[in-house]
A and B are shown apart, each in its own frame.
Chain A
Amino acid sequence: MATKDAPVNDPMLDPITGEQRVLAPGHTFKSVTEKIAGIVLTPHTPLDWFAGFVLAGGFVGMLLVAVTWLFLKGVGIWAITIPIAWGFAIINFVWWIGIGHAGTLISAILLLFKQQWRNSINRFAEAMTIFAVVCAGMFPLIHVGRPWLGYWLFPYPNSMNVWPQFRSPLLWDVFAVSTYATISVVFWYIGMVPDLGTLRDRSKSKVGQYIYGLAALGWRGSVRHWVRYETASLLLAGLATPLVLSVHTVISFDFAVALLPGWHTTIFPPYFVAGAVYSGFAMVITLAVPIRKFYHLEDLITIRHLDNMAKVMLTTGLIVAYGYAMEVFMSYWYSASHWEYFMMWNRMFGPMGWAYWVLITCNIALPQFMWFRYVRRSVPLMFLMSLIVNTGMWFERFVIVVTSLYRDYLPSSWGTYRATKWDYATFAGTLGLFTFLFFLFVRFLPMIPMSEIRMMLPQAKVRAEAEPLPEAGD
């Protein structure tokens, strides 16, 4: 078992089961609170934080320039053209939304399944969701060409007397993504209220007390409040679960409802959802590894977390692989359609075939190394793995969008796609925006839910026998 080659007295191993612990032993209510609240309340912001913040801010500046230029000149500055009218904007939209899904999965689905290991990572995974949705939501908006008329997407009484058309998946998307953004923010904030109360009570500065005090809404930890709070959390989790499944399903409808070889398949909804979770867990690892190192959170975000997340990635990766295999099967044999056959041949061996093989390498071939426990428990290797999967998932969307569009039924209308510097600047800019928001989050908000970590400590249980009482830190 796991204990075989581990040092005999490794404190991170459970002596009974030989499993890696979720939390390092020896923590008390106080030590957990101090560790997590201390990161936020310290008057000494680490210099590295400023360095990262400024760097990310630079990319945000680039995003602002790219979007300003876009608004001045129009979408012609991007590479989108006929036949490829959906370029980077839609690829990035789907990629970002997918990344957000792991946050909801961790906070909602794993809560319903009573997976307590999620507690350490759920807050920042939810933050990741929100920031990813911010980045994602921007793309369709700036892609419509006249973003100042974006509100036409919503049904509202207007002097033009027109209303939206509810049979279109593109409109369903508006409701799916706006609901997703709203519920994610509410779930995140409600989950944070007790911790904001802790920050209010522990903050030494007047400004901190005032701001955290406002945000904490007067939370005082009454058990009556806790009971209602727990019910609301469970209900929100129960609602977010079908929501997260529906969001990527609706996004896949944007493609699947179109009568286009490469898009028009029924396998899209499940395989989009699995892909979303796959890339989202990869992003959680990409964020968790530097954070636990930088803020010394190895006690709270442990090897067990990496191991478990690797297993989820392995599973969803196999579902995605099944999706790819089924696509090939349907196009080459089952459809008996000449157009489908050509699309798949062109996707694999056409001028942009390299993208397909990048996708297969990053999403299917290399992640199989996660079958090895050594890889799952190695921090640098898992970090590398998460970058590979994120790259692979971006290429998946590239392949779906571009290689389905650029050679359609009529050879005379074939085209090609070569992204412009503005495409790259916008994409890199959203990566910067995401990182920028994340830097703000880790500095000013508790990135690990203190109340939930306290609940996981052994001394949190109410004993049936009043005596003997455990010592604190038992």
Chain B
Amino acid sequence: MLKIIASFSKRLFRRNQETDNLPLEAGEIEKLRLTFKSRYHSFKLLLANNSRILEAMAEMEKALQGEEPFSMSLVQSNSTKVSVNVFRMIGDIENIAPGKYTALKDSFKEIQKRIDALLVQKKVIVDKRLVIPLAGVDSSMVDMAGGKMANLGDIKNRLEMNVPEGFVITAAAHELFMTSKGLQKEVDRLFQVAGSDEDRNLDLVSSQCRQLIMAAEVPEPICLAVTTAYSAIKEKNDGQEVRMAVRSSAYGEDAVNSSFAGQYRSELNVIFPRFFHYYKQVVASKYSVQAISYKMNRGFRDEDIAMCVGCLAMVDAVVGGVIYTGNPLDNRDNSIYINSTWGLPKAVVDGNDLCDLFVVARDEALTILRREVREKKYQVLCYEEEGCVRSETDAYKKNTPSLTDEQIQNLADHAVRIEQYYESPQDIEWAIDAVGKIYILQSRPLQQLELILPGEELNLQRYQSSLVAEGGINASPGVACGSVFKVNKKAEILQFPDGAVLIVEQALPTWAPLVSRAAAVVSEQGGFAGHLANVAREFGIPALFGVKGAMVKLQNGDIVTVAADLGQMYLGCISVLLEWTRPASKLMLGSPVYELLREVSREIIPLHLLDPESREFTPQNCKTFHDITRFIHEKSVYEMFNFGKDHSFSERSSKQLHYKVPMNWWILNLDDGFSHEIEGKYVKLEDITSIPMLAFWEGFAAIPWDGPPAIDGAGMTSILFRSTMNPALVTGMSTKYAERNYFMVSKNYCTLSSRLGYHFCTMEAMVSERSGENYLGFKFKGGAADYERCVGRVHLIRDILEQYGFRATVNIDNLDARLEGFNMEHMRRHVKILGYLTLHTRQLDMVMNNRGMVNYYMAKFTKDIDSLIKPQPL
């Protein structure tokens, strides 16, 4: 931008002298004033739109770091914000220079077309079958049957293991259900009305959506297909009624290390007359509070998930549980971990109670390495009528191993075969019935973590007195410190403070929405195979289970350190343990929403048009929205500067600043930047009303600059060398490098291009009562010294600006800094900083290889700036 302003201003100034002698008619002047006013208004709108685009791009870039959860609404609203404002900028430049840049519209259309294609991509369901018997399902049918049922189909049909009879109600059925009476539209509308992700009342919107689904009728074709499939199972059971398990098998559940563990509803022991009620409950559970927050935290779009429902004949389990074909907490350990309890496996996956753990080696004999038989107080059994009951275990069974050695080895054998088939570690749910038959109920990929052991130097001896719990189960590794918050009932979820340590009695999936907000999770019950443990591992949140008495021993507000890997919890903040924390996981990476954002960003953020002087700097070469924005911004400044020359209109030509003496600063008044129309070639500082320009000048002139610092020998050699190589750098030579400094001003706006010494800088500021539209932009480049010294200076300026709240980035020797959204006084103070730095960093590059000098100037500048911007006494 600077070069353009400089070269055109030069011509403008020359023209100025010519046009002064050709006075215009009063009517013509009035017309020109009006035209200029209208263009300036468009210019102001253009700048505000430009600012909005940069803000939206900054938000997208932040989200791309993948550390914070975000939903589809962030992608959609920011890309819309960028598109709409780019479109408006094209309209604005059209108002400023009618007909000159119309080719931008074609570039816009092309880019927008690519973005639209990314945003509207929707899965088309080709197979329209509403119900498929399990005998006809395999893993190629994930789209139709969901991951869970597709895998189970493989296990039944290809591995020929025992899997209960069943069928799947497909994605096509889900689509039919949600679209036949406009349910999906209404759900979308409820979310829309509920506001942004942050403002939304999750409980309310969740309850509205679920009620809507529960009140709807299941379409007739689905009812018919289900009844036919059920009848076939009943027939195989000698015509006897069959109890069913109705389970979610959502499409998308198994994408990129996301388990959706326990997020959706499963209903056990369902009688057929009540079947459709439970089908709707499973479908509605897509909108449970925990499912909505999980989807948001893990970057799934609502439309990514089709709720397929698996229906299996109930196994009247005597014993059940979960097998991990590796240690979830240590990816080097490939032993088989069998968690088991009396009755249905529900007690293990829900995490209500303790269960037995058997660890089996992968040797030929499948040697049992470890047996941890725990007190299994409760078991889950099928009710005679319908549903399940959690009842107290018979006394003699409580502490008895739930599996025999033969069963353990048999289960391990099943697990190894399933893992070999899928070629990856698996998390398998199983049950054994009264005659000892093993049934596989589910298999999904197991996520294994890397074990990080404490160094030998970790000595916790002196913290022994603070130890409040040990011997707990490491459900999710890591160390965290925070204040205790105990949660007993669902209502307390609302009061949970971000960053607290969640303490609960049972490790229920209900608490899953709190996991991503907690520093750590501690439960009195539960094991590492439960849903809550799975969720904690996914989110990288330390979880310590089986901590007896935690709810009683600890009070809300107590500060504790949870060291899950050690099975310990301490009162107070134990810093030596915290140093051993593993790096935060980037949860969003790889999720569907993240991938979409990445692809959309590629059409928006990269900047290819870097050099305005280049022949490539054309509308046709705008490949991204950033390119269009950059192009328009550059050209709008050029057009505003050019107006006076193009129209032989001296009133809108630049004036030379007269500050005590004529200065090397030229100023173009865009609108109300001068207190009155200025005749002749000079304007005095007191005639200028531009708030940002005056603030800049205040900073520029506040503290005298005592000349460039003494140059060390190497610095001088470096300059001499570069001057020899590049004659344009020799002071006094008439080259494009010896241009003047130019301001364009209005009352609330100013842009400056400046060359002081051997560096270029541009500053743009909007400082008005509209805090939301205020911004400062500062670019700095170049220098006379060698590359290393130039870079050194740029880094020094960046460090100072960051210290005062600017967002600053350095790319090679280019500095780009920005600050936005503050009130007028705050912005004024920061413009002063830029004025000060513009002068005081002049030729500083020469001493930038001397650490002592760098420190000296850092301290001096900070001190000067502090005195410059401190609030004035009333």
Chain B binds chain A = no
Interface set of B (CB-CB < 8 Å, partner A): none
